[in-house]
Structure 1
Amino acid sequence: MFRWVTLTLTTTVGRGLRIWIRYGRRIRSTGTTLAPTWQAETAAALAAASIVFRSRDPAYSRLLLDRAVKVFEFADYHRGAYSASLHSAVCPFYCDVNGYQDELLWGAAWLHKASRRREYREYIVKNEVVLRAGDTINEFGWDNKHAGINVLISKEVLMGKADDLKSFQNNADGFICSLLPGIAHPQVQYSPGGLIFKAGGSNMQHVTSLSFLLLAYSNYLSHANHAVPCGEMSASPALLKRLAKRQVDYILGDNPLAMSYMVGYGARYPQRIHHRASSLPSLVTHPAHIGCKAGSRYFLSPDANPNVLVGAVVGGPNSSDAFPDSRPFFQESEPTTYINAPLVGLLAYFSAHP
């Protein structure tokens, strides 16, 4: 039975098209909406965080889990895509193209892992088909959680604890096979220099997120003493780990251009990234207002950005390993949080396991 709870979940959005046209200092607007996609994502994050703090701060861990449960209940009750009510603010750049269904499964999977409550396992089994768990199994990112769902749930199957969730392992195995070099797949390719490449913009988001899942599944397989059969090939834990590390090495400079795609790292890195705060003069050097169209001179300037955004990872090279290092080529030169976030996990692991 649904229980009403009082929660405040604030989301700040920028009006994408207006901001895109106006290359000036950032403007923001807020909107109030029922956004189950964001709420289910928040529930997943809170549940995951509760695991992190379970032994170090049990009281805080319980609080996080309690909030995760309530936020998930709200998201599940108010099903729908956030772009239905925020279309003018989030589209065309961040429309909820993939829908809300995968986020609900993602939230339930993390709640099951964090709470061990049977109700979430039953929710996953009951909604596997309704919420399209098997769709687009080789996608994982800000708008699509399918591959992550399958990998996360597969751990229990691999350890012999959840045979009723076997279909998720089958999906995860299919995802892994689709990423192996030498196996033809219509959606995943490799550049001549060895970089994972998927059609669409900001390719490095796919590189970091898919590599993170490769590493996670490698660890699950290792604990289960298992490998993934892929036709005539077999994907061992060691192979998956090497594939993930190869992508990290490419990002940090081991590539045909000998360029680090992390700003501020290495001898050579992108100088003209598509980022307003990095490319516009600071308030210290230019305290005056920059008008609506006045930012174009900085956008089109051939000069390097005056403010180095250390640590930011850009969209990266194209399928031929070429990189223009130019602000107008935003798909290659724009950094995003959803590129950096999975990379932090990869770097943390390989730093601890050189």
Structure 2
Amino acid sequence: MTTMKWSLLFSCSLVQPLTLLALLFVLITTSHLVVSYSSHDYNDALTKSILFFEGQRSGHLPSNQRLTWRGDSAVFDGSTAGVDLSGGYYDAGDNVKFGFPLAFTTTMLAWSVIEFGDSMPSGELLNAAAALRWATDYLLKTVSLPGKIFVQVGDPIKDHNCWERPEDMDTARTVYMVSEEKPGSDIAGETAAALAAASMVFRSLDNEYSVTLLQNAVRVFKFADDYKGAYSDDAGVRAGVCPFYCDFDGYQDELLWGAAWLRRASQDASFLTYIQDNGKTLGADDNINEFGWDNKHAGLNVLVSKEFLEAQEYSLESYKASADSFMCTLVPESSTSHIQYTPGGLIYKPGGSNMQHVTSIAFLLLTYANYLEKTSQIVNCGSISVGPTSLRLQAKKQGITL
């Protein structure tokens, strides 16, 4: 891809949520799947995708910071609430740390390394792990006080009205939190998912840290399940997170998503039981064909399908059926296809932030293709059968269009 095209892509991403870059990173880690279709330099794209996260870092920067034009910023975040909330990532081109999409970004970074890390150059794999740890170190701080989760730092209205470097920031660093009295099952469930997924990445890199992540994931998930509610239902939190990252789709999917990641990371039977017993109550059968920071249904179905396919856990068959149904909607030849494509073949969904949909869907296509191939399975889409090769082809088209 030409320098100009990459420049345009990354300048656009600055006004997108940080999740877009995580999902772009996920797509590019599968560059070995598109080499024969394109002469684009996907290794360079991978390097730049991970490097972008260093440009978004908040807090005290490490000595090995590669983007040296960035300096320390927001080092006293959380002081007004009596807690250290320095670190983490700024969202897009502003200086706010929005916890809900940041946690989802963390989950996706971890999932990408889990599924495709073996295809990455060793140096970039370590850079990816460093990017992941910068997020999880911050998330651990947000859940450090019992009965509370700090969900955001920064007043978005004041911040968005003042365009300035984070190093020069003089806008309010307002802290928002949820608690037992003001629950936030959505952000707690996503944070649990992020910590659990990341624990799998660090198992071979830093086992002690991996254990810490998983222990905190279990604790945070219990909080999410014991005190149910959407974080943006509270008036105080809503004033800070809406309309930017309100919970529009409910917290139920995050509970299942968190449980699914805890099951995969820990292999604890209690989380399998949770998914089995609570699936219908929490909307697992709704078969909503969405995947992003606010709606985890399609990703949940793909993730849980792995255990059905590989471990033959037949109680999870409905998740596989829902994952199949979602895949069929993405295949133009299928009678149930309802995804729009641009003339060039890019997935198109009316509304803003289209690239989030493109990259998240491409990731699910590639991941599900791997699960199917490993178990010699296909997807039946009415009159046609779709195998791993077809799903990868759909994802490749998105990579080439990018």
Give the TM-score taking structure 1 as reference length.
0.65
Q: Which amino acid aligns with 1:238?
A: T
1: CA distance, partners of 2:285 / 2:199: 27
2:348 to 197, 207, 213: 197
Q: Which amino acid aligns with 1:10?
A: F
Closer, same or farther: CA 30–185 of 1 in aligned 2, 3 Å: farther
- Residue number in structure 2 paired with 1:30: 175
- Whether 1:12 aligns to 2:161 is no
- Structure number having the greater helix percentage: 2
- Whether 1:72 aligns to 2:211 is no
2:246 to 89, 95, 110: 95
| Conserved? CA contact 2:190–2:254, under 8 Å | yes
| Conserved? CA contact 1:14–1:90, under 8 Å | no
2: CA distance, partners of 1:67 / 1:180: 40
- Residue number in structure 2 paired with 1:116: 267
- Residue number in structure 2 paired with 1:44: 193
Closer, same or farther: CA 197–136 of 1 in aligned 2, 3 Å: farther
Q: Which amino acid aligns with 1:146?
A: H
SS at the partner of 2:284? coil
- Residue number in structure 1 paired with 2:301: 150
How is 1:210-221 mapped onto 2 (pairs within 5 angstroms)? 210-221=361-372
- Whether 1:235 aligns to 2:380 is no
- For residues 271-295 of structure 1, the C-alpha deviation after alignment (integer angstroms, 9 at most, x for no partner) is xxxxxxxxxxxxxxxxxxxxxxxxx
Unpaired runs of at least 5, structure 2: 1-144
SS at the partner of 1:129? coil
Fraction of identical pairs, as percent:
50
| Conserved? CA contact 1:50–1:62, under 8 Å | yes
2:285 to 106, 121, 134: 134
| Conserved? CA contact 1:17–1:92, under 8 Å | no
| Conserved? CA contact 2:328–2:334, under 8 Å | yes
2: CA distance, partners of 1:218 / 1:36: 31
SS at the partner of 1:11? strand
Shift of 1:55: 3.0
| Conserved? CA contact 2:328–2:337, under 8 Å | no
Q: Which amino acid aligns with 1:138?
A: N
2:204 to 55, 61, 82: 55
| Conserved? CA contact 1:13–1:90, under 8 Å | no
- For residues 208-266 of structure 1, the C-alpha deviation after alignment (integer angstroms, 9 at most, x for no partner) is 00110101000000100111010122211011112112112211xxxxxxxxxxxxxxx
Q: Which amino acid aligns with 1:77?
A: D
| Conserved? CA contact 1:47–1:110, under 8 Å | yes
1: CA distance, partners of 2:147 / 2:207: 22
Shift of 1:51: 1.2
- Whether 1:170 aligns to 2:315 is no
| Conserved? CA contact 2:248–2:294, under 8 Å | yes
2: CA distance, partners of 1:37 / 1:185: 30
Q: How many pairs align? A: 246
- Residue number in structure 1 paired with 2:339: 188
The list of structure 1 runs, each at least 4 consecutive aligned residues, that deviate by more than 4 angstroms after superposition, is: 13-20, 184-187
Shift of 1:134: 2.4
SS at the partner of 2:286? coil
Q: Which amino acid aligns with 1:66?
A: Q
1: CA distance, partners of 2:337 / 2:372: 26
The range that moved more, 58-67 or 23-32, is 23-32
1: CA distance, partners of 2:159 / 2:205: 42
Shift of 1:18: 5.1
2: CA distance, partners of 1:40 / 1:155: 20
| Conserved? CA contact 2:150–2:178, under 8 Å | no
| Conserved? CA contact 2:335–2:382, under 8 Å | no
| Conserved? CA contact 1:150–1:168, under 8 Å | yes
Closer, same or farther: CA 134–198 of 1 in aligned 2, 3 Å: farther
- For residues 93-120 of structure 1, the C-alpha deviation after alignment (integer angstroms, 9 at most, x for no partner) is 3210011100010000000011111110
Q: Which amino acid aligns with 2:178?
A: T
Unpaired runs of at least 5, structure 1: 252-354
Closer, same or farther: CA 190–29 of 1 in aligned 2, 3 Å: same
Shift of 1:157: 1.1
| Conserved? CA contact 2:335–2:381, under 8 Å | no
Alignment RMSD, CA only? Answer: 2.0
